[in-house]
Amino acid sequence: MKQKLSSGAQKVAAAAKARPAETRWSLIGAVVGVFLGLLIGGVGVAAMGGAAGVPAALILALVGGILGNRYGISKDRPVR
């Protein structure tokens, strides 16, 4: 198990070094999303007769991470 975790961590580190802007902007987007989500509070999600509260920080962290990732990809691999 420890070997699997170690090899997985090495793969993630290699990917982060290969695409530095993508990694940086993904993290920036996620942090900004969490910060904005903490300012907003929570979001109610209702579906199929039930409802649940979801922290906006979680949703906006995912959205911010995805947007940051897309921006970082454009910086790492510009269109020719």
- Reply yes or no on whether the pLDDT at 77 is more than 80: no
pLDDT of residue 16: 82
pLDDT of residue 27: 92
Ramachandran angles phi, psi of 52, nearest 5°:
-145, 145
Question: Strand, coil or helix: what is 80?
Answer: coil
Instruction: Give me the residue label for tokens 């903490």.
Output: 38
**Which of these ranges, 3-7, 23-27, 31-35, 56-60, has the smallest mean pLDDT?**
3-7
State the pTM of this model.
0.72
